[in-house]
Structure 1
Amino acid sequence: MQLPLEAVAATKLIEVVRISALPAGRDDPYPGTAVAHWTGSEAAAALALIESLPGSAQHRCGFSPGWSVRAYDNSLDLALFEAAFCFTCHEVRMRGTAVPPALATQFFDPGALPARSLLSLFRKAAP
C-alpha cells in the first residue's frame, strides 16, 4: 500500500480510531473513539506495517470500515492524513491535505500476514 511519503516522514503521532459511523461529509474525519496514540518507534513500525500491506482486488461490501489511523506532525493541529480500513471489502480510503487523488482509494489483502498483524494491533489498542 502506498502512503504519502512526505506525510509519513513528518508524522510524529498516530491516533488509532475505532470507527462508529461514516463521516457526515466528504472531508470530515471518520467518527469514533480514539483508542490509542502511537509515537516514536511505535508509530514508525505501524506506518511500515501499513506500507507493507499487499494489494488485492476490489470486493464489494458497501465499505464499512472499523478502524482508522490519523497521522499528525509536531503541530498536532490537523491530521496529515487519515486512512480508514475495511477488512471486509479489502479497501482503504485515505483523505487529508497530504493525500494525492491517486492514493485516496486502495485495496489490500486482509488475509496477508501484515494485514492480520495490523488488525491485531488495532484490537489490542481497543479497551
Structure 2
Amino acid sequence: MQLPAQAVAATVLIEVVRISAVPTKLDAPYPGEVVTHWAGSEAADALTLIETLPGSEQHRCGFSPGWSIRAYENTLDMALFEAAFCFRCHEVRMHGTAVPPALATQFFDADAPPAQTLLALFCEAAL
C-alpha cells in the first residue's frame, strides 16, 4: 500500500480510532473513539507495516471500515491524513491535506500476514 511519503516522514503521532459510523461530510474525520496513540518508533513501525500491505482486488461489502489511523506532524494541528481500513472489502480510503487523489482509494490483501498483524495491533489497542 502506498502512503503519502512526505506526510509519513513528517508524522510524529498516530491516533488509532475505532470507527463507529461513516462521516456525514466529505473529508470529515471518521467518527469513533480514539483508543490509543502511537508515537516515535511505534508510529514509524506502524506506518512501515501499513506500507508493506500487499495489494488486492476490490471486494464488495459496501465499505464499512472498523479502524482508522490519523497521522499528525509535531504541531498536532490537523491530521496530515486519515486512513480508514475495511478488512471485509479489503479497501482503504484516505483523505487529508497530504493525500493526492491517486492514493485516496486503495485495496489491500486483508488475509496477508502484514494485514493480520495490523488488525491485531488495532484490536490490542482497544483493550
Q: TM-score range by the shorter chain?
A: over 0.9
1:82 Cα shift?
A: 0.1
Q: Scaled by the length of structure 2, what TM-score is found?
A: 0.99
Provide the C-alpha distance between the structure 2 equivalents of 1:74 and 1:15, rounded to a whole number of angstroms: 13
> Hey, what's the Cα distance between the residues in 2 that align with 1:111 and 1:7?
27
Superposed, which structure 2 residues align to 1:80-119 within 5 Å? 80-119=80-119
What SS class does the counterpart of residue 63 from structure 2 fall into? Answer: coil
Query: What is the match of residue 18 of structure 1?
Result: 18
Identity value in percent = 76
Structure 2 stretches lacking a partner, 5+ long: none
TM-score with structure 1 setting the length: 0.99
Question: Counterpart in 1 of 2:55?
Answer: 55
Q: Deviations over 1:84-109 (max 9, x none)?
A: 00000000000000000000000000
Q: CA RMSD in A?
A: 0.4
Give 1:27 deviation, angstroms. 1.4
Runs of 5+ unmatched residues, structure 1:
none
Structure 1 residue 5, shift from structure 2 partner? 0.1
| Distance (Å, rounded) in 1 between the aligned partners of 2:80 and 2:126 | 23
SS in 2 for 1:36: strand
What letter is aligned with 2:29?
P
Report the secondary structure of 2:26's partner residue.
Answer: coil
- 1:126 and 2:126 aligned: yes
